Structure 1
Amino acid sequence: MADNIARVFADAIATDPTRPLLTWYDDATGERTELSGATLANWVAKTANLLVDEVAVGPGDVAAVLLPPHWQTAAVLLGCWSAGLTVADTPGDVDVLFAAATRMAEADAWSAGERYVLALDPFALPMRQVPPGFADYVSEVRAHGDHFSPYAKGGPVEAELLARATARAAQWGIGRGDRVLIDTGAYPDPVDWLLAPLTANATTVLCANADPSTLPTRATTERVTHPLP
């Protein structure tokens, strides 16, 4: 089993970078965003370049990611792992922090060298008013390069994350080429909504604020083969 999340991501898009890898729905706003493997890889590369070139972090450094399941969260997490960072899960001192605009109070519990805020708006629109002490992730990341060569060795906890994700994919019977429908309210852990499908080389339809009445039709429209229970 691979111990490098960047390699797992690269393998997941290698066969067909143009296929929809992650399709995002938010039933509270009506948003639908579809990202091919190539498009998501572009966002991941820009994020990793932001971290390395602007924040000057790399292997051995630590990030905090205070974000809900979202396609931009996928880009941030995969960018952090590509740059060799460890993603912390308990408040403390970190080198860089990414936080949703709705979680500013929670961000105060962390001490971070650099702080980025994400509005998570449709179409990745930049923020009109950026909170003091933060930079707007969307505005900053767009200026960085579209290609990044991930570090060969993953962070110290990546093998554990991938082992958990592989076990989850096996538990749910997710296989290569499956299209998985995931309710983020039921599965908020990125091991479940992001890494488990990637380890199985599956694609994802990710639904936030899911309206149960829409899911059967969505599953048909999106050609879902594997809705999570």
Structure 2
Amino acid sequence: MPAKTPGDLWRSAASVDPTRPFITAYDASGGRVELSFATFDNWVAKTSNMIVDGLGAEPGARIALALPVHWQSLVWLVSSWTTGLNVIPATAASLGEDDPDIVVTAADGMDAALATGADEVVATSLHPLGAPLATCPPAVLDYAVEVRGHGDRFTPGGPVDPDAPALSWHPGPYSGAELADRALDRYAKSELTSSDRVAIITNESETLAALGPDLSDFLFPVAGALSLVLSHETDSARVQSQLRTERVTALVGRHDRFSDLPTGIRHLS
């Protein structure tokens, strides 16, 4: 039976082999962090509990994620869908247009997030290992601090409505069912297998919009329980080294910036 929501896609992927690497992330300085399916799922569970118990969010609440492509922003994506929220990929400049109930932002977007009048504002340092913010105003929740106190297992109060809006932005909105169906269809057409590794190459400042209008650059590898490599690298020689080291077999994202990538790697549009 096809998965009904992006949350279903994640739960199915995480159950295949929890010990396998899920995300290997490189920051702009070349720093590397690796999260297994089990570790990422633990962050999803803790963040989902924070959304429900800490933020008091109900299914259907609008959550603006003003974050770059980063392993933490992907945790927020999956957790938002797991708890039935409606995701709005945003930038600090666009936050005032979206009327969100919750805003999650990087440190440099806190003022813009507070100006939205959202019920809750959460900020993250985006530190590779999840360290707290250097400073945090009283009206903002520090994600790294708050999430630690929440449980490692998440038990939903009920099923997420697959027909409810799960992603609201142009050319959406998309329901959870539409996002899951698109991801499954793209995975099937990709002809990738469990042995493939997909690299997502973005600029360090690129928002979640870089993952495609339906975010399927992220969701189709999830549909196939594939391992991901995230890179913000701008130097061709270093990105080549990363791709070889990680045994990447397929690329999505801003790989068009590089004309001399290793042969044998598929470029997926």
Q: TM-score, normalised by structure 2?
A: 0.77
Structure 1 stretch displaced more, 163-172 or 5-14: 163-172
Aligned in 2, Cα 1:3/1:111: closer, same or farther, shift over 3 Å?
farther
Is 1:188 equivalent to 2:210 in the alignment?
Answer: yes
Structure 1 stretch displaced more, 76-85 or 183-192: 183-192
Is 1:45 equivalent to 2:45 in the alignment?
Answer: yes
Q: CA offsets per residue over residues 88-111 of structure 1, 9 Å max, x none?
A: 247332221101112335435633
Q: Which residue in 1 is equivalent to 2:169?
A: none
Q: Which residue in 2 is equivalent to 1:164?
A: 182
Correspondence 1:105-116 to 2 at 5 A: 106-107=112-113, 110-116=116-122
The separation in 2 between residues aligned to 1:111 and 1:163, in whole angstroms, is 34
The separation in 1 between residues aligned to 2:99 and 2:117, in whole angstroms, is 5
Superposition deviation, residue 87 in structure 1: 0.8
**Count of aligned residue pairs for this structure pair:** 228
The separation in 2 between residues aligned to 1:112 and 1:21, in whole angstroms, is 32
The answer as to whether partners of 2:183 and 2:220 remain within 8 angstroms in 1 is yes
Q: Which residue in 2 is equivalent to 1:202?
A: 226
List alignment gaps of at least 5 residues for structure 2.
91-96, 166-174, 253-266
The separation in 1 between residues aligned to 2:49 and 2:84, in whole angstroms, is 12
The separation in 2 between residues aligned to 1:122 and 1:221, in whole angstroms, is 19
Superposition deviation, residue 179 in structure 1: 0.7
Q: CA offsets per residue over residues 157-197 of structure 1, 9 Å max, x none?
A: 21222233344445554333421112023882261442121
List alignment gaps of at least 5 residues for structure 1.
none
> Amino acid of the residue matched to residue 235 of structure 2?
D
The separation in 2 between residues aligned to 1:22 and 1:210, in whole angstroms, is 19
Q: CA offsets per residue over residues 192-223 of structure 1, 9 Å max, x none?
A: 44212101221100101342212222222112
Correspondence 1:75-224 to 2 at 5 A: 75-89=75-89, 91-104=97-110, 106-107=112-113, 110-150=116-156, 151-153=158-160, 154=162, 155-156=164-165, 157-170=175-188, 172-185=190-203, 188-189=210-211, 191-224=215-248
Aligned in 2, Cα 1:219/1:125: closer, same or farther, shift over 3 Å?
same
Structure 1 stretch displaced more, 184-193 or 172-181: 184-193
Aligned in 2, Cα 1:176/1:139: closer, same or farther, shift over 3 Å?
same
The separation in 2 between residues aligned to 1:168 and 1:210, in whole angstroms, is 27
The separation in 2 between residues aligned to 1:128 and 1:93, in whole angstroms, is 28
> Amino acid of the residue matched to residue 76 of structure 1?
W
> Amino acid of the residue matched to residue 72 of structure 2?
Q
The answer as to whether partners of 1:117 and 1:136 remain within 8 angstroms in 2 is yes
Larger Rg: 2
The separation in 2 between residues aligned to 1:19 and 1:152, in whole angstroms, is 27
> Amino acid of the residue matched to residue 47 of structure 1?
T
Q: How high is the sequence identity, in percent, across the aligned residues? A: 38
The separation in 1 between residues aligned to 2:50 and 2:80, in whole angstroms, is 10
Q: Which residue in 1 is equivalent to 2:261?
A: none
Which SS does the other structure have where 1:9 is aligned?
helix
The answer as to whether partners of 2:46 and 2:150 remain within 8 angstroms in 1 is yes
